[in-house]
Every structure is written in C-alpha cells, then in structure tokens.
Amino acid sequence: MGNKRNVRNFCIIAHIDHGKSTLADRLMERTGQVSERDMEAQLLDSMDIERERGITIKLTPVRMFYKAGDGQEYEFNLIDTPGHVDFTYEVSRSLAACEGAILIVDASQGVEAQTLANVYLALENNLEILPVINKVDLPSARPEEAKKEIEEVIGLDASYAPLVSAKEGLNIEEVLEDIVKYFPAPSGDDTAPLKALIFDSYYDNYKGVILFVRIKDGSVKAGDKIKTFRSSQIYDVVETGVFSPGLTPKNGLFAGDVGYIAASIKSIQDVAVGDTVINAVNPATEPLPGYKQVQSVVFCGIYPLDGSRFNDLKDAILKLQLNDASLIFEPDSSVALGFGFRCGFLGLLHMEIIQERIEREFGLEIITTAPSVSYKVVKTDGEEIFVDNPSHLPPVSEIEHMEEPIVKADIYSPPDYLGQIMDLCREKRGVFLQMTYLDKSRVRLEYNLPLNEIIFDFFDAVKSRTRGYASFDYELIGYERSKLVKLDILLNGEVCDALSMIVHEDSAYTRGRTLCENLKEAIPRQLFEVPVQAAIGGKIIARETVKAVRKDVLAKCYGGDITRKKKLLEKQKEGKKRMRQIGNVEVPSEVFMQILKTNKD
Amino acid sequence: MAGIYIHIPFCKSKCSYCDFTSFPDKLCYAESYMACVYREMAMREKELSNYIFDTVYIGGGTPSVIDEKYIAMLIAAVKKHFKLADNSEITIEINPGTVSAGKIALYEKCGINRYSVGLQTAVDGQLADIGRVHNLKDYLNCAKLLKGKNFSADVMIGLKNQNIADIEYTISVAAKSGASHISMYALTPEDGTPVYTDYLNGELPDGDEVAEMYAAGVKKLASFGFERYEVSNFCKKGMESRHNLNYWRRGEYIGFGVAASSCINDTRVTNTFDLDEYFKCILSGHFAVINSEKIDKRGQEEEFIMLALRTSEGLNLKRYAELFGEDFSVKYSRQIKKVQEYVEVNEISFKIKSRFLFVQNSIIVEFFNAV
C-alpha cells in the first residue's frame, strides 16, 4: 500500500436530522465519487426505511479521493454511523475504525442529546473531532450560539468550525480541507501480525458474509487463512477490497485501510461486530479493545396474521438475521396467537424496523405483542432466571423477588418544559439524578428510569410534552429490585396470554384500567356481551364490558340488493379472517398492537 | 316461481333518505320511458317464452306519479309478451300524495290487485323532515280509497327525532287504516343522501336505539295481528308478498327499466342506472345491461342461505338438498355448532331465532367464504 500519510479515516456523528447523510452525499459529490445526476436523495441510506424515516440503520462505508489545496491527493474513507441510541454499540465500533469524526451541529437546534452521546463515544475512541455547523442557510440559524454551546457543553474549540449548508452545498470545500488538516493519518504496522476490527458485516448470497474491517496492524490478502479472536473457525480469504462506493475488489489490505473481506463465511453469528480478525497462521496475541457481546434489550412476540404462514415468517426472520446479528429469536407459541417467534432487539427502533421489514420486504402481515424487557427473577430456591415473556413467569409462590433493568436517561430541553419533563419522569418512576443549565436556553436533566417504563411511549411523550424541543438518550446501567406483578387480561372470563404483561405494582391498576378501556373500544361488539377484565394473580382489578351487538342487518333485500348484501357479507367474512378467536370471542389482530398505546394524552 | 319487476324512475321530489334510481325532474320523459320499457319486454319475450310468471311488481321511484294510462299500457304489455299465472299477484307502489279515486279505479281495472303505500311515518313533522310529499291526511285519504283492497304500508324506523311512541303510533295508524301487510324498515343512511349528513352529525338514533325501536315495533305489530315473515316484513295471516317471498326463496325474476335487476338461470343482470343510456340502448335495439354475472354453485349457495335466513320460515332443508345435493346440517355442522345459541333447527328448516333476526349478518357470515 502507498502512503498512509495521505489517508484519512473518519465518520460523521450528529443528532438525528442534523444533516449527516446530506453532508456525506455532498462530500461524495465534491470528490467526484458520484455525479450529481446519479444522486438519489441520500446515497448512503440505501434501505427504503432508512430514507423514509431519515435515519441510518446499516453502515455503508465509502472511499473518496480528494485533491487538496496542498496539491496532494488524499484518500478519504468515510464510515457512516447509525444515528440512533439502539445502535450505540455499532456506532462505537465504527468510530473505533476511524481517526477522526466530523461532528455536525444544527445551527438552529444546537447541541442535542445524541450529539453529546456520540461525542462521548468519539472521545472514548480517541478520535479527533471536527465540529461543523450545518443548516446555516435557514432563517432560524444561530451559528454563533451553536458554536458557543459546543464550547460550553462539550468543551471543544469550535472557533474554527466551518459554517456549512449541506443542502445548499455551501462551504463544503472548507470541510474537505479541514479533514486533511485536522484528522491524523492512520498509524499501524504493515509487518505486524494482522489485527482487523470488524465494524459491520452483511450477508451476500454468492460470497457469504462480507466483513467490513479496519486494518489496525498487518495486512490481509486473498488466500490468507484468517480467524476471529473469539471463534476457532478458520476461513480462507477469497477476496478483499474497498468501498468506492459499492464493493470494489483490491487485492491486499494494509494497516490503516478500510475495506472488506470475503471468506466464504456462512453465518453472520460467527463473526460478531467488534471482534478482531487475525491471521490463523501468525495470530496476534491480543485482541483490539472494546468488544462487547450485544444483548437484546427489548423483546416481543411476532406471529403471522394468517396462522398458516408460520413457515414464511420463519424464512423472513432467518433472512433478516443473515444481515443482522443483533436480531435474536426463538420459536414461541401462544394460546391466542398460535405459533410464532419470541424476538429480541437492541431497542424499540430496532424492533419497529424489523417488524416493518418483515411486512414490507416479505409481504407478510404480522401480529406483534406488547414489547417487554428482560426481568431478573430470583426464585425462592435461590435460582436466578431472566424472563422476557410474561407467560413464562414462574408462579408467584416460587418468586422470591424480581429485578428490572434500569437506564440512565439524558434529556435536553429548553427550561420552559422542565416541569412537564419532571412530571413525566415521576410518572414513569424516574429517580432524579441532576440538572445542569448548559446555557440560557438549554437544560440537561439526568434521571434513572426503569427500562420498561420507557419502551412504551416515553419518547413520544417527551416530544409531545415539549413540542418536540427536547431530545432524549439513554444507556442501560443495570438491574434493580422492584415490585413487579404480572397483569393478565381476561376476555369473557378467559386469560388471553398474548395480552399479559409485567408491570410495576403501583401502575398496575392504572394500566389495567386503561387496557380494559382501550380493549373495550377495539374489540367489535359480538352477539353476546363480553366482559373485559384485568387481573393480578386471581384478583380482578378492572372491568369493562363490550356490549352485545343489537343491529346488524340490511333493512331491505330485494332483487337488486342481493349482490350488495352478498358483497357486504363477503367483506365481513374477510374481516373475520383478520381476527383471532380467544375462547369464543373474536378479536381483531390490530388489538394486540393497539394496547401498546396505554396512555391517552 | 318467477316474478317480473318493472322500475319506474320518476317521482315528484326526492326524499332525503333516497338513493334509488329516480329522477324528480324528468317526469316529462315518462311517455318515452314507458315506450322503452314495453320495447325491452318485447326484446325478452322469446327468451322467456317458457316461463309462467306468478307475480308482477311495479316499483320505483313513484309509479303512481305517472299518468295511470301508462300503467294500464304496461300491464297490457306484460300480458302481451309474457304468460302470467291465473292468480298472479300484481303490485304497484304508490305514494299517498299522488293518488286519486280515478287512478285506483284504472289500476284495479287493468288487474292490479295489491298496493304498497309509502306511509313511512304518521308524524307530519317527520314526514316533512324526510322530504315526503304527503302528510298523514293524504295517507288516510289514500287508505280510504283502498278500503277493502289488499294493501301494504311502509313504515320507517330510525328517523331523526323519532321515538318509540312515534313508531307505535304509526303502526296503529297503518293497522287501523286497513293495511293487511306492513313493512318496517330501519333507515339506512346512504352516502350522498341528505340524511347521511344527519348521520354524520350524530343526529340519527344509533344502532342500539334502532334495535329498541324495532323490538317495540315488532311487539306493536303483533298486537294488531301482524306476524313477522321476514326481518322487515309483517302481515296478517296469508297476506305475504308473494313477489318478495320469491326473492328470499331465491326464485327467478326478470326486471325491466332503468336500474332493474334480473336473475334468470343463475345469471344476475343489472340494467344501467343512467336514464339517457337506457334510452339509447333500448332505442338502438340493445339490452341496457351494465353488469352480468354468472353465479357459481358456491355463490348460489351463499345467496340461498343469506336470503332464507332473513325469513321466519328459515332455510328449507329439503329444498337445500334438492338444489345443492348435500345435507345442510352435515355440510355446515361446524358452523351450526358455532351459532347454535342463535338458531333453531328441526327436520324441516334451519332458521335464526326471532330475537336474533336483527343481528343476522353476524350469524350468516359464518356460512360465507371470504373473497
């Protein structure tokens, strides 16, 4: 490999919507990586869902060449990062593959929760940070204040931060020059044993798993035997290459390079993100730091709407898992919903994305149960188990106590909404830690909150109570003992297992009542009266009644009405196909999703 | 059994709940229209030469709004082109505001032997509200003209501001006026009609209230000796509308005129709803059909079940076996079990218990296939 001094590996970090993907697109355009004509809105976000939601889920590195003001040509490797708290670990691994990070701050919004979370991650990975003030073309832009916030809140010198508009292409040149100027070239020893950091991977139908790597030391080329530090399996390297963008074969990757390795790896589960690729013949003795086993945070049941499509659902989940090692699942069955899967996710967004992808990419209609977290159950015999599925909870008599996962939450908000946020956190059993005024217009609130309180609608509630001004981020910090109970829902006297949930004792009554009220609205009237009850143990704590239907007839049915009436009944029948029979009650599948909305604000 | 239906798409003014094919401003076309209807009959004569029709029903619109001579010519045309059974039932729908002694006399003379009178409600304010052209007095006059004849009165429930007392009163008026048959229909707010706005505004009684009204109405009707033979139809003993029973037994029928529907040989045919188009087709010697559907065995069966279960006699098991070659209670044993609380089964019939007739869709749908 040529001159490492002319290589810059960097990523872009930002709060959601601050313009990360737009800036990336602009950099690619300016370096001639893509012509303007080929620009589909936001190149890096290639999944439909990514583009629609304006978020990045899957990492897409890209290599660019830039002729700098000093007359030399530089190779830039831009590693995109997912922009959501669910993917913090993935972000930290892609940061670890870089020497520098461009920190984008929206000129009108200033520093937000994820800005800070990402900066900390970058600092942990010893990255050089280049602040960039974006969206300076907006009338509401206040670049000087944004700079001041960066200096005061983050403690970075922002005086030299370029003021850009990625959308308008303003001052992009300055960013490119700063990349050359401020980011260090990669170091590393080409002759040392191979150490390559896996920062992402995906499954290719022909080549097997493609590893996205940053070579820290040594080199790798086709024909080499490699293995990962945490697995004994040895693979033959078939191909190596770089991203420009898209996979471009290039034989041999050397220290400092960002590229990919294809080695006929069958399963993505065997090569975890964060693991170190080493040479099997001449193995390095120490792995790269920072590897963590990814753990599911949120769980839910996924069932096919049409029970006969269980196998299709299985195929879909298996295919998604090929590209998503953090998606875990196991077969599950429910009295109400039949056969399906219990799935674990990195967070709520991850869950939503998977659900959406199953529906969109595989054309499957699914029913999902309420999300749950993993509880630690300490049994009376001393055994500790983790339970994420309410119906797997041992009988009350066998439970000594239960513990629930706790997160530390950071909320950034204008001071006007402090009251609302504190009320919300109190409602959600939050424990106040501290409050810091960042400047006149921004306060940082720190809380410990039970994870199960924030997986439902906390994020929406924060946004709605602060008119969208507040931002929120969290990290898991551990388990705490808590008074948890299993809340069951009975329809016409029968427990509906798919609607059971684990809740805190104090909120059980409210939640039971709200659930019954919601269900009363959501369950269509049947030929008989249906009691909807919430119960803890054997005790009924709330009840609503779905009244019996009393009028359900077409008044007139003569010669000309027959077709219409037939169509009406066919439609009604079609609707019934979307219903699940619980005891003798017919419940529309949507109900299982509607109950997630427990608060009527 | 087979019936003939003729649609007269004219009226004096459009009622606020009406979404039938009727044109209040086109009465001037009545003569040309009727000429087309006669012609349409001629066009079907050969095809139906083997049929003997038991009933004729002249509906609308308001058939009584057009000059009675056209009705006389119409009956003559029916008799010219088709064979009618000796004791055939010939019904005409009339509006109390558009009849006279002379009209009735001519109807009678040309063989009409049954009248269906649109009373709707005996409360004048409500009549005005739904845009009817008549009032209670008109109805009573009309009933006087029909004294001694076989006539039916239509009564509506679920009107704006209507209460149970209004319904009971209306039924008494109808019963005491000499009607031998009463149809009690729940108002159906159809999209595009003025009452639909009332419905959207929440001004109409809701389903539960209508169910109360219906129950009260059924009771009141029974007190006057009117028995329910179909969910919306009640009569004195033996006074059922044979024409309508034919629909519910899934008999054959032929319809003439704009928007008319026919079902012959398991093919359901619908005429255009557009008056001009109807004229153009017929005058150029073509059928005015906009939709023709061959009903497959499954569809026939679904229709048979759904129609039969509207009636108090229910589904005739022997007839079912003849038509479909299977034992109903065997074929549908699973479904029957599911709805067993709401139905009655014996050797002769399978029917919905009378108190569940008003929620029949939920029961019938069990016997349907999804599309």
User: What is the number of alpha carbons within 13 Å of residue B275 lying toward its C-beta?
Assistant: 19
> What is the pLDDT, as a whole number, of residue B370?
60
pLDDT over 90 (residue A19): no
- Separation of alpha carbons B177 and B170, rounded Å: 11
- Which residue among A555, A559, A570 places its CB closest to the CB of B188? A555
Identify the helix (H) or strand (E) that includes residue B31: helix B30-44
**Share above pLDDT 70 across residues of chain A, in percent, rounded to a whole number:** 93
- Which residue among B185, B310, B359 places its CB closest to the CB of A527? B359
* Helix boundaries (H) for A247-365: 310-322, 348-361
DSSP B266-308: TEEEEE-S-HHHHHHHHHTT---EEEEEE--HHHHHHHHHHHH
| Cβ atoms of residues B229 and B313 within 8 Å | yes
| Cβ atoms of residues A236 and A263 within 8 Å | yes
| Cβ atoms of residues A20 and A104 within 8 Å | yes
Confidence of residue A472 (pLDDT cuts 50, 70, 90): confident
- Separation of alpha carbons A86 and A120, rounded Å: 16
Residue type for position A348: L
Where chain B has pLDDT below 70, the residues are 370-371
A479 token code pair: 């388990």
| Cβ atoms of residues A412 and A112 within 8 Å | yes
| Cβ atoms of residues A86 and A114 within 8 Å | no
Largest Cα separation within chain B, whole Å, is: 58
ipTM value of the model?
A: 0.92
Determine contact: B208 vs chain A, CB below 8 A: yes
Among all chains, which residue has been given the structure tokens 């994305």?
A353
> What is the pLDDT, as a whole number, of residue A47?
56
A123 token code pair: 């600092």
**Residues in B 323-362 with any Cβ partner in A closer than 8 A:** 341-342, 356-362
Between chains, do B371 and A574 touch, taking CB under 8 Å as contact? yes
pLDDT in tens, B199-229: 999 999 999 999 999 999 999 999 999 999 9
Torsion angle of C-alpha atoms A268, A269, A275, A280, degrees rounded to 10: -80
pLDDT in tens, A34-58: 544 444 444 445 556 555 555 555 5
| Cβ atoms of residues B363 and B309 within 8 Å | yes
- Separation of alpha carbons A19 and A42, rounded Å: 10
Q: In chain A, what residues touch B308 (CB-CB under 8 Å)?
A: none
| Cβ atoms of residues A518 and A594 within 8 Å | yes
> What is the pLDDT, as a whole number, of residue A58?
57
CB pairs under 8 A between A and B: 110
Domains, chain B, in order of start with CATH, read: 2-246 (3.20.20.70), 315-367 (no CATH)
Confidence of residue A203 (pLDDT cuts 50, 70, 90): confident
Instruction: Kindly state the average pLDDT of the residues A58-69.
Output: 83
DSSP B144-157: HHTTTS-EEEEEEE
Residue type for position A207: K
Among all chains, which residue has been given the structure tokens 């009640």?
B234
Identify the helix (H) or strand (E) that includes residue B90: strand B83-94
> What is the pLDDT, as a whole number, of residue B352?
97
**Which of A67-71, A163-167, A270-274 has the weakest average pLDDT?**
A270-274
pLDDT in tens, A479-514: 999 999 999 999 999 999 888 989 999 889 988 998
Average pLDDT over all residues of chain B? 95
**B contact test, residue of A308, A528, A558 with most B CBs within 10 A:** A558
Between chains, do A569 and B293 touch, taking CB under 8 Å as contact? no
- Which residue among B244, B259, B368 places its CB closest to the CB of A560? B259
> What is the pLDDT, as a whole number, of residue A463?
80
Identify the helix (H) or strand (E) that includes residue A485: strand A484-491
- In the DSSP assignment, the letter for residue A550 is -
Spell out a b/e string for A422-442, using b for 16 or more CB atoms within 10 Å of the CB, else e.
bebbeebbbeeeeeeebeeeb
Contact residues for A89 (Cβ-Cβ < 8 A; gap 6+): A273, A274, A292, A294, A346
3-state secondary structure of A337: coil
> What is the pLDDT, as a whole number, of residue A247?
85
Q: In chain A, what residues touch B361 (CB-CB under 8 Å)?
A: 552-554, 568-569, 572
> What is the pLDDT, as a whole number, of residue A42?
44
Over its C-alpha atoms, chain B yields an Rg (Å, rounded) of: 21
**Residues in B 275-334 with any Cβ partner in A closer than 8 A:** 293, 299, 302-303, 306-307, 310
Phi-psi region of A553 (alpha: psi -120 to 50; beta: other; left: phi over 0): beta
> What is the pLDDT, as a whole number, of residue A40?
47
Strand spans (E) along B129-243? 151-157, 181-186, 227-230, 233-235
Task: Report the Cα–Cα distance between both ends of chain B, in Å, rounded.
Answer: 30
Torsion angle of C-alpha atoms A211, A215, A217, A219, degrees rounded to 10: 70
Between chains, do B359 and A550 touch, taking CB under 8 Å as contact? yes
Instruction: Kindly state the average pLDDT of the residues A124-141.
Output: 93
Among all chains, which residue has been given the structure tokens 């963590």?
A292
Task: Report the Cα–Cα distance between both ends of chain A, in Å, rounded.
Answer: 60
> What is the pLDDT, as a whole number, of residue A1?
44
Confidence of residue A530 (pLDDT cuts 50, 70, 90): very high
Q: In chain A, what residues touch B21 (CB-CB under 8 Å)?
A: none
> What is the pLDDT, as a whole number, of residue A55?
52
| Cβ atoms of residues A403 and A480 within 8 Å | yes
> What is the pLDDT, as a whole number, of residue A413?
87
**Of the spans A155-169, A246-260, A313-327, B44-58, which averages the highest pLDDT?**
B44-58
Strand order in the sheet with A234-236: A234-236, A225-228, A276-279, A195-204, A208-217, A258-265, A239-243, A247-249
CA distance B371 to chain A (A): 6
Between chains, do B231 and A570 touch, taking CB under 8 Å as contact? no
Average pLDDT over all residues of chain A? 87
Spell out a b/e string for A278-287, using b for 16 or more CB atoms within 10 Å of the CB, else e.
bbbeeebeeb
Q: Which of A191, A172, A137 is nearest to A64 (CA)?
A: A172
Provide the pairing of β-strand A7-14 with A530-536.
unpaired
Provide the pairing of β-strand A7-14 with A73-79.
parallel
CA distance A340 to chain B (A): 24
- Tell me the sheet residues that pair with B293: B268
